[in-house]
Structure 1
Amino acid sequence: MKIPIQRQVQFFFGSRHENSNNKTVLTYGHGDVIRGQEERWEPDLVPWELKVQNNKIYGRGTADNKGQHTVNIGALKSILETRGCLGFNSKILIETGEESGSPGLADFARQQKELLASDVLISSDGPRLQPERPTLFMGSRGSIVFDIEVNLRNGAHHSGNWGGLIANPALILSNALSVIADKRGQIQIPEWRPKTLTNSVRMALADCEVDGGEEGPRVEQDWGEKNLTPAERVFGWNSFEILAFTAGIPERPVNAIPGTAKARCQLRFVVGTEVDDILPALVRHLEKEGFSNVTVTPADRGVMQATRLDPDSPWVKWAANSIKETTKKKPAILPNLGGGLPNDVFSEILGLPTLWVPHSYASCSQHAPNEHMLPEIAREGLEIMAGLFWDIGLEDFEIATYQ
């Protein structure tokens, strides 16, 4: 079934109903990707053609997200071919706007609650904590993107004639940004500092080591919140980032004081952060620090909400046990992903426990040139998902067993 909700955004839905007494599993994926950036890929690679090279499967969408939900659909197919039935009811939802903030997805879920009604969401997106370690996460950090701007005058003025006489908006903006986070990136706005790093979250993260693989960047121990582990910083805390900064003409600088300066910024935030107070708190903080001539404007991408399922949930215990049985490895359990997902649609609107099993890794180059998937992770992911789907389809399956 193809269901249009908004212009240029469509939802694809399919279902298999076997027995009303069975559990119902909803699986989600997104078929849209970011732009190809063709000119920046390696010379022998094209973003729109799959190519296996150097033990990597290259192509735009291999990691984010077509490759991942293809693995899950393949696992469903393998269960049908082996068992002759699933043993549970299956619903699959594929959207086409996730990279643009999932416009229409929440409205679709509200309108189609009965159609999407399920017992649990089991899906795949994002990276594993480490390439070789199966990972299970139950939500995602939220995200809000906004602009901070200093607009003093129209046009630029010669720096020799006016330097020292008129204010430089880039200098003002640089200083304003420095009071949001200190020199090691620690957030300075009290309302932006979480109070939800609970013992259960800390315990789940205690054996989690952040590792982007051989080609990924190294974790910098002197960056971020000082008294937290790297895993706590990215999965249990908020982070402020400057995504872009413009003043003057960066590609062709001239000897002139610019009239304006602008920074595109982002806050990644965990459950417990007051979403409606994020930007007002920023404005109050800047005014308190003496930056009343700085304006804050939300970007047009909206807000992605933060979500988290308690690591002590019986669904988490069941899934972790199934993954361990399949792989003989103890999975990393993350209360939430560091990045963003429209998980609130499933956890808040549909009221589902949400389980995410990623089939990628941190150095997959998603949103960048040379995006790829590792065959060994895809293969193990197929085994993991087949194991989860097999187990939930057993006649004696009872989630209460894992209380």
Structure 2
Amino acid sequence: MGGTREGAIARAESYFDGGLFLADLGRRVAIPTASQEADAMPALVDYVSAEMAATLSGLGYECQVLPNPVNFYGPFLVARRIENAGLPTVLTYGHGDVVRGQAEKWRNGLSPWRIVIEGDRIYGRGTADNKGQHTINIAALACVLAERGSLGFNSTILIETGEEAGSPGLAEFCAANNTRLKADVLIASDGPRLDQHRPTIFGGTRGVLNFDLKLSLREGGYHSGNWGGLLANPGIILAHALATITDARGQIKVPEWRPRTLTPAMRAALAEIHVDAGEGAPEIDPDWGEETLTSMERIFGWNSFEILAFTTGNPDAPVNAIPPSARAHCQLRFVVGTDPGDIVPALRRHLDRQGFQQIEIETDGLIMKATRLDPENPWAKFASASIEKTAGKKPDLLPNLGASLPNDVFTDVIGMPTIWVPHSYAACSQHAPDEHLLASLARDGLRLMTGLFWDIGSKAR
């Protein structure tokens, strides 16, 4: 047992510079684990039972691949390395599934299932979300093991295969395996940095609920020349209903959806945030969203309503007919303080007050709850100090990210503080064609996580 922090970080640098990171990531990207596809199950099983279990078994982890309690969804891998029952335990999470490949939409020369390197960009589906990120964290653990001979703490790794489908079964699985997964802290990676040149730590996420608004007035379409002005148009009615949910600049008008938890302390923390989304990121619209808030307060401290799709008639082949129905696929991202159980009922009450009783609300019931970690939490301060020591600069420390993750499973079901250290950046084309990871951020992430895991082991001794 021995070695140094600097030695462990040097091992991480060599792992990247010598091509081993790309070799590991390349094998993982090549497994088409698109959980939204009906035929993905063999690939999902292969990813956890062969690829990841082999890697973790080689690091002294006891691996179990366990079924999803929800039928027709992919399995879970639980890997445990228990060095001493008296040591703290760190839970590390990742998801091996990805969104659909959309191979036909990738730029010429690129493929979702093959690593392609162009300059600083490593292209491939899952490079950013999430195969690249958990590959970094597992490699950092391996570097600490190689240098010290032990981690200095107990380590549990959970890899699911359904996050891109809404993590079905994750809460039930974690509740049933609470003892096996219990830990002092979750340390994991997903999502983007706020500033690609500065590390980010976030302790929670906004929640998310998707739902459809639907209006069906009749069985079929009717000629607009014969019936125009006589038959109600469901597209127009639904458009007016949607217009009551926000004003023209997107400010939410449903009273129960307006948060009351943006405290002075939260505003002070967000005032120090640095943002650089990177090349290719869109310009922020200064006149969109809650008028009295800064852009950082809008995305990290407030709720946002989005219309993701709106259809009426046949958009691909319009005809001169009044359509029989209209549908809008909508989403609410929400922060701590918004009652998730009242989101749909509040909208129902609002639409009824506005005279739109005929609009139906449909949801599949899947919801990711909002979570938040106090920046003064000891684990948040410890992780921030460790990362600052390695990076030479203070990280952005967020109580919660603007996006959503199944973080409530770890905070509420298992019960632990959560620390997320993202290794991607906002312009990575996550969920889109040409997804990529920046090589510079991957190398930096390896250094940061190796230093963090080293420091946890040193603190525990």
Pairing partner for 1:271 from 336, 342, 347: 336
Alignment of 1:214-293 (within 5 A): 214-293=279-358
Whether contact under 8 Å (2:235, 2:323) holds in the other structure is yes
Q: Pick the structure with more helix per residue.
A: 2
Of the three residues 276, 280, 305, the one matched with 1:211 is 276
| 1:100-146, Cα deviation, whole Å (9 max, x unpaired) | 11111111111111101110000000010111110000011111010
Cα distance in 2 between the residues matched to 1:391 and 1:109: 27
* Contact 1:210/1:230 (<8 A) preserved: no
- 2:392 is aligned with what amino acid? K
Confirm or deny that 1:138 pairs with 2:203. Answer: yes
CA distance in 2: counterparts of 1:396 and 1:166, whole angstroms:
72
Q: Kindly indicate whether residue 93 of structure 2 is the aligned counterpart of residue 28 of structure 1.
A: yes
Q: Is the 8 A contact 2:144 2:453 kept in 1?
A: yes
Q: Which residue does 2:392 correspond to in 1?
A: 328
Q: What CA distance in whole angstroms lies between the structure 2 residues aligned with 1:176 and 1:212?
A: 34
* Aligned-partner Cα distance in 2 for 1:18–1:75: 17
What letter is aligned with 2:74? V
Distance 2:459 2:128 in 1: 34
- Which of these residues, 40, 46, 66, is aligned with residue 3 of structure 1? 66
- The equivalent residue for 2:452 is 388
State the match for 1:372 in structure 2. 436
SS in 2 for 1:325: helix
- Answer yes or no: is the 8 Å Cα contact 2:87–2:460 preserved in 1: no
- The reply on whether 1:73 has 2:138 as its aligned counterpart is yes
* Unaligned segments of structure 1, at least 5 residues: 398-403
Which one is further off, 309-318 or 67-76? Answer: 309-318
Q: Hey, what's the Cα distance between the residues in 1 that align with 2:230 and 2:216?
A: 17
Aligned-pair CA distance for 1:301: 5.9
Q: Secondary structure at the match of 2:427?
A: coil
RMSD of aligned Cα (Å): 1.1
Aligned to 2:20: none
Q: How does 1:294-373 map to 2 (within 5 A)?
A: 294-298=359-363, 300=364, 302-373=366-437
For 1:287 and 1:135, how far apart are their aligned partners in 2? 43
Report the secondary structure of 2:454's partner residue. Answer: helix
* Alpha-carbon distance in structure 1 between the residues aligned to 2:268 and 2:439: 31
Name the aligned partner's letter for residue 104 of structure 1: G
Aligned residues: 396
Task: Kindly report structure 1 stretches of 4+ aligned residues shifted beyond 3 Å.
Answer: none
| 1:173 counterpart (238, 243, 253) | 238
CA distance in structure 2 between the partners assigned to 1:262 and 1:129 by the alignment:
34
Give how far 1:209 is off: 3.7
TM-score normalized with structure 1 length: 0.96
- Report whether the alignment pairs 1:44 with 2:109: yes
How far apart in 1 are the matches of 2:341 and 2:423? 33
Q: Given residue 160 of structure 2, which amino acid in structure 1 is its aligned partner?
A: E
Rounded Cα–Cα distance in structure 2 between residues aligned with 1:317 and 1:393: 16
SS at match of 2:212: strand
Higher relative contact order (CA 8 A, sep 6+): 1
> Contact 1:30–1:96 at 8 Å: present in 2 too?
yes
Gap regions ≥5 residues in structure 2: 1-63
1:396 shift after superposition: 5.9
- How far is 1:19 from its partner? 1.4
Opposite residue 27 of structure 1, the aligned amino acid is: T
Distance between the aligned counterparts of 2:269 and 2:309, measured in 1?
A: 34
8 Å Cα contact 2:194/2:275 also seen in 1: yes
SS at match of 2:117: strand
CA distance in 2, matches of 1:216, 1:18: 44
State the Cα distance separating 1:160 from its structure 2 match: 1.1
The 3-state SS of whatever aligns with 2:171 is helix
SS in 2 for 1:394: helix
- One-letter amino acid of the structure 1 residue matched with residue 177 of structure 2: Q
Per-residue deviation at 1:297? Answer: 1.2
Q: What is the CA distance between 1:199 and its match in structure 2?
A: 2.5
Report the counterpart of residue 25 of structure 2 in structure 1.
Answer: none
Amino acid at match of 2:330: C
Range moving further from structure 2, 5-14 or 236-245: 5-14
- Superposed displacement of residue 395, structure 1: 4.8
Q: Indicate conservation of the 8 Å contact 2:110/2:434, yes or no.
A: yes
Once the two structures are superposed, what CA deviation does each residue of 1:355-380 show, in whole Å capped at 9, x if it has no partner? 00000011100110000000011111
Post-superposition Cα deviations, 1:224-250, rounded to whole Å, max 9, x if no partner, equal: 111111111111100000010000000
Q: Does 1:99 align with 2:201?
A: no
Give the Cα–Cα distance (whole angstroms) in 2 for the partners of residues 197 and 157 of structure 1.
50
Distance 1:52 1:36 in 2: 18
User: Which stretch has the larger CA shift, 4-13 or 186-195?
Assistant: 4-13
* Contact 1:100-1:301 within 8 A present in 2 as well: no
Kept in 1: contact 2:153–2:460 (CA 8 A)? no
Matches of 1:94 and 1:301, distance apart in 2? 23
Residue in 1 that maps onto 2:176: 111
Report whether the alignment pairs 1:155 with 2:207: no
* TM-score, normalised by the number of residues in structure 2: 0.84
Distance 1:395 1:217 in 2: 42
Name the aligned partner's letter for residue 178 of structure 1.
A
Distance 1:197 1:375, change over 3 A: same
